[in-house]
């Protein structure tokens, strides 16, 4: 969808609207034990995510029949909105039809009641007896969250509700641990259609998340329509992709009109969610300077960037520039009623300011000594301006570096220290540290993971993170507003990928943000049991939810060489979460709930395909089936996901074939600082030939001051070479400094070398094949390195697949 294609709240509702019928029915009564923190036996007894502050369980059930009425206080618009949400989400989850009935009889099975004695705008009480379920709250958000808790109870089993649904008798008294419970979506690197954002909002409310941080500008795109500065979207909303040879592809981009954004704000507000906009300054401003070079520093006009990382273009803090930002803030405040406005402040390398006579003169006049202090002065002016309009400024933790302005709040992303320093100084903070809560990180090492950063953040790691750093003084703990997960979009191109990165890990963030702090170890298995029904709700209507925590991983029990010699091949099966039952088949069919349960290492005949998936205790399948093929050809093949980094680096990224690829594969694990990959378990004793499939990938990285870490190898052919060497790890340890500077893989045994073709005319993917030299000292499980020596000015390369042939070519 392009920026001018609008979708109203009404239009989106019509996509998902359901019928309305009335009716009522009753059941049983009783009360007993109180559950607060989700201990193991308690937390899995009710399918609630996040776990409430207090649960008092009783005996008996309430049966809610199809067509049941929801009674509302007469004239209470807040209760009516919450009831509509409840009916809408329940119908979508299991088909149960409920209808809101203002002024309906008190005998209705579901009732909303306003209770001024309930303290807190987001607090609620849910009471379920044989006479019905009553949601009580003092405000709109409390009604919404009570409705979402009842939703989870009404849709616990994920099945159809043709005969009604039973809800256990209980009393829940609930309120959140933190006020800020957020998710950040970044449409700047890759534009997201507005329908995708609406879908995220719908799923956020079900787990009581209340803040959508919307990152609307960056080097790669300006997404907020400005009526006063139309070039920001005419020029700044569009970019060309990086070139991988043969010229660039079509433009990528889009923007949101103010009308679209107002509709989103209203839609989110109906669900208790605040949309916090971000316009990033003074760095990450290349799209701005491309649109209006007069607001840049040195007068040049760059293209809108297609490079991920840190780029040099800065906003100019002179009077004209400050006036521009105030005008943009005026437009933002008109569209977004949120208390906070985010102004970025991150990753602003100050080289342009350092080289600008104008900025240096301005600093002298202001008595400012450093460029970081200049940024602090700028942030303070914006904070004062927002305060004059009843708003508050929040920025990334770099705004601390020049002295934190009194008006600013901090979002801590470079670990927790920014939050510690700011909170102890009396400033409000939101914890959003990398890598802990960066959801664009891969969730597992499974070979089908979509592109992203390779700093594995499993669901358990996210769940166990606590956003109350130990360094914050107890008296200052009140300044921790809450917690937020971020999904930066360098490698999130499609709505599918955005959903895959966010869900189900946002469920872990939601529980951390809402539920009371647990003394001692968190109950992760209990959390998974409670989250499983919510995962099924999220999947309704085709919503993508990652199964990485439950996907089956296969580990051979023998070396690769032993597998090639064996009459029986051993393999172990496991999933990351260590939850559920793994079931498998050996006949190529997909496993079902009655397939054989995995209990110990399997021993299978060569050529057998093991297919396995994880299942919940109730038989629900938790993961897609995954296959382990023991065919000889497969055992002689290494893929991008099985390769490791060479001795001089680490694979930090999993990247797609092109920067804007909409498919989830192929994907390549890569070290962009030294394009070399290693196969640590190469079956060289069995190999007479080697075939290497490679891909040429865009070198679109803004590295700023980290560019000096790039390793350049002397190319001895026109476009560089692929050098394949064995024993590279040991050779690296023994090589001296001079050897390392001049040789791609000093001291290793060279197996093959191939000149790389001209990237302007060659296809993007191709293969190299060679016979291997007769080196009897090379054994199975040898390490083999694939080093590319292409110039740093060219695209870089990665290995997609290596096939070891048992016969010479």
Question: DSSP H helical segments within 417-555, as ranges?
Answer: 417-424, 459-464, 495-502, 505-514, 524-539
Residues 780 and 705: their CA atoms lie apart, in Å, by 41
Residues 172 and 125: their CA atoms lie apart, in Å, by 6
By CB neighbour count within 10 A (0-12 exposed, 13-18 middle, 19+ buried), where does 15 fall?
exposed
Torsion of CA 739, 743, 748, 752, to 10 degrees: -170
Beta-strand relationship, 124-129 and 132-137: antiparallel
Residue 653 phi, psi dihedral angles, 5° rounding:
-135, 150
Residues 185 and 197: beta-carbon distance below 8 Å: yes
Residues 510 and 524: their CA atoms lie apart, in Å, by 14
Question: DSSP H helical segments within 207-316, as ranges?
Answer: 231-234, 258-270, 286-291
Catalytic: which of 81, 113, 202, 218?
A: 218
Two tokens, residue 99: 């209808």
Residues 661 and 704: their CA atoms lie apart, in Å, by 25
Q: Helices 77-94 and 524-539: crossing angle, nearest 10°? A: 90
Element (H or E) spanning 580, and its range? none
Rg (CA), the chain: 29
Closest CA to 280 of 218, 349, 191, 373: 218
Residues 242 and 301: their CA atoms lie apart, in Å, by 18
Residues 223 and 279: beta-carbon distance below 8 Å: no
What residues contact residue 121 under an 8 Å CB cut-off, 6+ apart? 138, 139, 140, 141, 142
Residues 649 and 117: their CA atoms lie apart, in Å, by 60
The question of whether 190 is a catalytic residue gets the answer no
Two tokens, residue 117: 């004695």
Closest CA to 329 of 281, 385, 269: 385
The question of whether 218 is a catalytic residue gets the answer yes
Name beta bridge partners: 509. none
Collapsed DSSP state (helix, strand, coil) of residue 85: helix
Catalytic: which of 113, 243, 270, 347?
A: 347
Q: Quote the DSSP letter at residue 223.
A: -
Closest CA to 180 of 499, 437, 537: 437
The question of whether 347 is a catalytic residue gets the answer yes
CA-to-CA separations, 398 to 257, 349, 378, in angstroms, rounded: 30, 11, 13
Closest CA to 202 of 317, 94, 85: 85
Closest CA to 654 of 673, 641, 642: 641
Query: Can you point out the beta strands (E) in 13-67?
Result: 34-35, 54-64
Element (H or E) spanning 562, and its range? helix 560-565
Residues 550 and 569: their CA atoms lie apart, in Å, by 24
Residues 77 and 57: beta-carbon distance below 8 Å: no
Closest CA to 723 of 765, 695, 699, 756: 756
By CB neighbour count within 10 A (0-12 exposed, 13-18 middle, 19+ buried), where does 648 fall?
middle
Q: Order of strands across the sheet with 653-656? A: 452-453, 653-656, 667-670
Element (H or E) spanning 678, and its range? strand 676-683
Q: State the first-to-last Cα distance of the chain, in angstroms, to the nearest integer.
A: 50
Collapsed DSSP state (helix, strand, coil) of residue 272: coil
* Helix (DSSP H) and strand (DSSP E) numbers for the chain: 21, 41
Catalytic: which of 252, 284, 427, 479?
A: 284
Catalytic positions? 218, 284, 347
């Amino acid at each position: 969808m392009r920026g001018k294609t609008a979708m109203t709240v009404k239009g989106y509702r019509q996509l998902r609207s359901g019928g309305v019928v009335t009716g009522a029915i009753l059941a049983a009564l009783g009360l007993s034990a109180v559950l607060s923190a989700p201990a193991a036996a308690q937390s899995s007894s009710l399918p609630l995510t996040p776990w409430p502050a207090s649960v008092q369980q009783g005996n008996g059930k309430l049966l809610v029949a199809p067509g049941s009425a929801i009674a509302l206080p007469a004239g209470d618009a807040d209760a009516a909105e919450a009831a509509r949400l409840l009916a809408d989400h329940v119908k979508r989850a299991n088909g149960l039809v409920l209808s809101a009935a203002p002024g309906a009889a008190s005998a209705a099975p579901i009732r909303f009641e306003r209770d001024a004695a309930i303290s807190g705008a987001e607090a609620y009480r849910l009471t379920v007896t044989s006479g019905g379920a009553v949601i009580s709250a003092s405000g709109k958000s409390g009604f919404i969250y009570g409705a979402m808790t009842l939703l989870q109870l009404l849709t616990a089993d994920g099945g159809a509700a043709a005969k009604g649904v039973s809800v256990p008798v209980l009393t829940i008294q609930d309120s959140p641990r933190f006020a800020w419970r957020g998710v950040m979506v970044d449409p700047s690197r890759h534009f997201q259609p507005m329908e995708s954002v609406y879908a995220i909002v719908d799923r956020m409310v079900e787990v009581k998340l209340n803040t959508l941080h919307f990152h609307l500008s960056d080097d790669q795109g300006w997404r907020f329509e400005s009526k006063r500065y139309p070039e920001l979207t005419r020029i700044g909303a569009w970019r060309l992709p990086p070139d991988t040879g043969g010229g660039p592809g079509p433009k990528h981009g889009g923007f949101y009109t103010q009308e679209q954004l107002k509709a989103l704000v209203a839609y989110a507000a109906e669900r208790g969610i605040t949309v916090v906009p971000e316009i990033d300054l003074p760095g990450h401003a290349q799209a701005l300077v491309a649109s209006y070079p007069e607001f840049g520093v040195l007068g040049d006009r760059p293209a809108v960037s297609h490079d991920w990382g840190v780029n040099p273009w800065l906003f100019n803090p002179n009077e004209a520039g400050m006036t521009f930002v105030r005008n943009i803030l005026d437009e933002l405040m008109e569209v977004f009623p949120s208390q906070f406005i985010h102004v970025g402040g991150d990753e602003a390398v100050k080289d342009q300011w350092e080289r600008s006579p104008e900025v240096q003169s301005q600093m002298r006049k202001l008595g400012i000594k450093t460029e970081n202090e200049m940024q602090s002065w700028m942030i303070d002016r914006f904070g004062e301006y927002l305060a004059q309009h009843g708003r508050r400024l929040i920025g990334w933790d770099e705004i601390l570096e020049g002295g934190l302005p009194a008006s600013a709040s901090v979002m801590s992303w470079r670990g927790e220290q920014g939050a510690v320093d700011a909170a102890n100084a009396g400033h409000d903070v939101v914890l959003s540290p990398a890598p802990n809560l960066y959801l664009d990180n891969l969730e597992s090492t499974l070979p089908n993971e979509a592109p992203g950063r390779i700093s594995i953040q499993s669901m358990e790691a996210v769940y166990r993170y606590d956003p109350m750093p130990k360094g914050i003084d107890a008296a200052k703990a009140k300044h921790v507003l809450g917690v937020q997960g971020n999904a930066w979009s360098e490698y999130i191109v499609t709505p599918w990928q955005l959903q895959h990165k966010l869900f189900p890990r946002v469920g872990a963030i939601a529980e951390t943000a809402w539920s009371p702090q647990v003394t001692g170890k968190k109950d992760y298995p209990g959390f998974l049991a409670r989250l499983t029904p919510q995962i099924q709700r999220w999947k309704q209507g085709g919503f993508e939810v990652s199964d990485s925590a439950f996907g089956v991983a296969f580990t051979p029990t023998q070396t690769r060489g032993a597998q090639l010699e064996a009459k029986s091949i051993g393999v172990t099966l496991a999933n990351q979460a260590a939850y559920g039952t793994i079931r498998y088949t050996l006949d190529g069919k997909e496993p079902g709930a009655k397939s054989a349960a995995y209990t110990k290492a399997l021993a299978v005949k060569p050529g057998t395909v093991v297919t396995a998936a994880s299942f919940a205790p109730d038989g629900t399948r938790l993961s897609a089936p995954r296959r382990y093929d023991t065919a000889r050809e497969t055992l002689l093949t290494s893929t991008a996901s099985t390769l490791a980094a060479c001795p001089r680096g680490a694979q930090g990224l999993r990247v797609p074939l092109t920067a804007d690829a909409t498919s989830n594969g192929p994907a390549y694990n890569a070290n962009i600082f030294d394009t070399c990959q290693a196969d640590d378990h190469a079956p060289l004793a069995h190999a007479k030939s080697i075939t290497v499939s490679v891909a040429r990938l865009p070198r679109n990285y803004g590295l700023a001051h980290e560019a000096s870490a790039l390793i350049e190898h002397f190319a001895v052919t026109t476009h560089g070479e692929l050098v394949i060497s064995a024993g590279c790890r040991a050779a690296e340890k023994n090589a001296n400094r001079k050897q390392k500077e001049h040789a791609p893989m000093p001291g290793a045994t060279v197996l093959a070398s191939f000149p790389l073709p001209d990237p302007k005319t060659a296809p993007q993917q191709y293969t190299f094949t060679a016979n291997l030299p007769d080196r009897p000292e090379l054994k199975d499980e040898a390490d083999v390195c694939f080093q590319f020596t292409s110039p740093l000015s060219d695209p870089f390369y990665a290995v997609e697949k290596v096939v070891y042939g048992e016969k010479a070519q």
